[in-house]
Structure 1
Amino acid sequence: MKSILVTGAGGYIGSVLVPKLLDKGYAVTAVDRFFFGMDKLKPHPMLTIVNEDCRLLKEEHFIGIDAVIDLVAISNDPSGELFQEITFEINHVARVNTASLAKKMGVGRYILPSSCSIYGFQDKDIIVDETAATNPLTIYAKANERAEQGSLVLADEQFTVVVMRQATVYGYSPRMRFDLAINGMAYGAWKNGVIPLMRDGSQWRPMVHVEDTTDVMLLLLEADAHVVNKEIINVGSNRNNYQLEGLAKEIANALPISVDIEWYGDPDHRSYRVNFDKAERMLSWKAKYTAADGASQIYQKLVNGRLEKTDQTITLHWYKRIIQSPGLVKENKYEDIFTLPMDSLK
């Protein structure tokens, strides 16, 4: 039986991944500060909870660990722009340190879930693969790229390092997020019969369901090291490359109600269309879900009252709520994590 350490285990992806690992018979050490609650992971005899800041991990955390899946991150561009220094500390420095500690302690495999956002802006006629030049435009994307670079150089015959460049994730999770494109569209359609869409809708964006990307993580744990070591793999599917206006229309057509599109904001200059052939070829894997599947799943849970939108489901809103609630900060000892002055949150 293998023992897996997962950072960010209580987050949007982690709370889907951890139960899958446990179901497969892995022992899991779940590392997180659990900003979004301890209830996202159900107790299990093979689950060990470590409530710790990823920047403070030490050698002893890696004793007996066979593989690391380093999910921890200040997630999404708005949070990254507001918490710039902290984002670089956590998304870049801490993850490279985790990889270094893992290697030092004899861990055999390190999986870094990164992001296709590092492609930034690409010509509309180009479909980028893993060999394409990157063009990160945001703090979040830049920190991911640095984490990739810092961890890949650690790979050797005894220490397998593989990078997953994930498309924009969507779908239901116990730690639900409505600040992700498809999830937000599904909520807007259910709540108001309107899908909010950032202008001008022609920008390309790849998508991947949270169930699909966590399935890839399971495959990478068992994949032949000689096949995946030192590799960067785009994770998503060619079918799930969408121009945002077309994405909104597909979701609207998939739902059993009349839905309008409502434009907002300035044009989004991030646009990238991604080739996912390598993941399918290397791992003999294909994505199971489309945007319509994910939106329909979320819509149905909203209709049935099994899902609701709260401050916790909008990442940046919850980070601000933590800082603006002295009792919450004191109770959970967040002082050293969120250090921005109150004026920056206005």
Structure 2
Amino acid sequence: MAKTVLVTGAGGYIGSVLVPKLLNKGYHVKAIDRFFFGTDKLSSHGNLTLIKEDCRRLTEEHFEDVDAVIDLVAISNDPSGELFQEATYQINHLARANCARLAKQAGVRRYILPSSCSIYGFQDNGVIVDELSPTNPLTTYAKANEQAERDILPLADATFTAVVIRQATVYGYSPRMRFDLAINGMTLGAWEKGDIPLMRDGTQWRPMVHVQDTTDVMCLLLEAEETAINGQIFNVGSDRNNYQLGQLAEEIAEALPIDVTISWYGDPDHRSYRVNFEKIEKTLNWKAKWTAADGALEIYDKLVTGGLVKNEQTITLGWYQELSKWHKIIKECEMYGGIISVG
């Protein structure tokens, strides 16, 4: 019988790539999300069950007949984390730790926590961090991820396989597109204005991973031998995708079939970390397939052909702010279950 995988955050940037991939592999999927960005990002499928629920309100019933959990849910990116700090700790840390505990209590065999390389924060020049290196989270988003890791990994035992992946900064096309990610935003700027906006001063190191590559890893972890992954942390990315941001912008500019300039904005970004990815390559015999140039060309082609457009939903923080604004307006105007029409 096909296994059932529960995916939280299923309608998000990564989830809307992962879920179809799981379905194509024959899994049944319980897709849990608030669906802030709509349910249309996931096409209907006979083996797909959409569950509109807040991750902070999960119960053991949600995990009935579930074989594995991929706990993607998160308030994503640093600006959103700083504006919604309390919610970020509730969702990215406490809700995911609770999800893992509920899964274990319900007899789920495997739990995967997609965390972030951002927990390495800032590292001295020349340092290349691996999974045993000290962490240095600088933002609410990174700190909440680290706290989730610390609560979840001790749950691992002979009956419950718990594994953490620290993802590099993700890029590439998704049905729930995000242009607030480095490579995606650079490509959009190049297409719109022939200019790549780059945060000063371009010397900071940042690892990247394509959304297809990181979702491939999640699928791989569903079938990997328990003894190889249980209680383990894996950095997900590749040395080829360790970039200084100035170098990254130059590679994207050279890859695109248009003339592109690079312009600077903002204060220097003090997050800088270069990451070692040998553990996942050796343990799971996995290597990333995509480069930044590949991802930029993928997005550029979709922009040119109209298969991808920038709208209010493609900037995460902006959409959260828009929802919050209209929530307040509607609450103030609503009476008797409606606004113009009432019940």
Paired letter, 1:280: E
SS in 2 for 1:217: helix
Paired letter, 2:99: T
Is 2:12 the partner of 1:16?
no
Superposed CA deviations along residues 64-93 of structure 1, whole A, max 9, x for unmatched, are 000000000000000000000000000000
Partner residue, 2:199: 198
Partner residue, 2:301: 300
SS in 1 for 2:163: strand
Distance 1:71 1:27 in 2: 17
Paired letter, 1:54: C
SS in 1 for 2:155: coil
Partner residue, 2:176: 175
Paired letter, 1:141: A
Cα RMSD for the two superposed structures: 1.1
Distance 1:125 1:228 in 2: 29
Is 2:144 the partner of 1:143?
yes
Partner residue, 1:273: 274
Conserved in 2, the CA contact under 8 Å of 1:237 and 1:276?
yes
User: 1:327: Cα distance to partner?
Assistant: 8.1
Conserved in 2, the CA contact under 8 Å of 1:250 and 1:291?
yes
Conserved in 2, the CA contact under 8 Å of 1:322 and 1:328?
no
Residues 1:329 and 1:119: Cα distance change in structure 2 (over 3 Å)? farther
Residues 1:97 and 1:329: Cα distance change in structure 2 (over 3 Å)? farther
Distance 2:134 2:174 in 1: 32
Paired letter, 1:164: I
Partner residue, 2:33: 32
Paired letter, 1:307: L
SS in 2 for 1:48: strand
Conserved in 2, the CA contact under 8 Å of 1:193 and 1:258?
yes
Distance 1:134 1:323 in 2: 33
Paired letter, 2:293: A
Partner residue, 1:48: 49
Distance 1:75 1:84 in 2: 11
Is 2:148 the partner of 1:114?
no
Partner residue, 1:255: 256
Is 2:152 the partner of 1:127?
no
Superposed CA deviations along residues 146-203 of structure 1, whole A, max 9, x for unmatched, are 0000000111000000000000000000000000000000000000000000000000
Partner residue, 1:337: none
Superposed CA deviations along residues 73-116 of structure 1, whole A, max 9, x for unmatched, are 00000000000000000000000000000000000000000000
Partner residue, 1:336: none
Conserved in 2, the CA contact under 8 Å of 1:212 and 1:288?
yes
Distance 1:151 1:122 in 2: 25
Distance 1:36 1:205 in 2: 27
User: 1:311: Cα distance to partner?
Assistant: 1.1
Paired letter, 2:321: K
Distance 2:200 2:49 in 1: 45
Superposed CA deviations along residues 217-248 of structure 1, whole A, max 9, x for unmatched, are 00000000011000000000010000000000
Paired letter, 1:66: D
Paired letter, 2:7: V
Is 2:105 the partner of 1:104?
yes
Distance 2:330 2:209 in 1: 34
Aligned residue pairs: how many? 331
SS in 2 for 1:36: coil
Return the TM-score normalized by structure 2: 0.95
Distance 2:82 2:218 in 1: 28
Is 2:256 the partner of 1:246?
no
Partner residue, 1:185: 186
- Which stretches in structure 1 are left out of the alignment for 5+ residues? 334-346
Distance 2:44 2:123 in 1: 44
Distance 1:167 1:45 in 2: 33
Is 2:223 the partner of 1:222?
yes
User: 1:326: Cα distance to partner?
Assistant: 3.6
Superposed CA deviations along residues 51-70 of structure 1, whole A, max 9, x for unmatched, are 00000000100000000000
Distance 2:78 2:293 in 1: 24
User: 1:10: Cα distance to partner?
Assistant: 0.1
Paired letter, 1:291: A
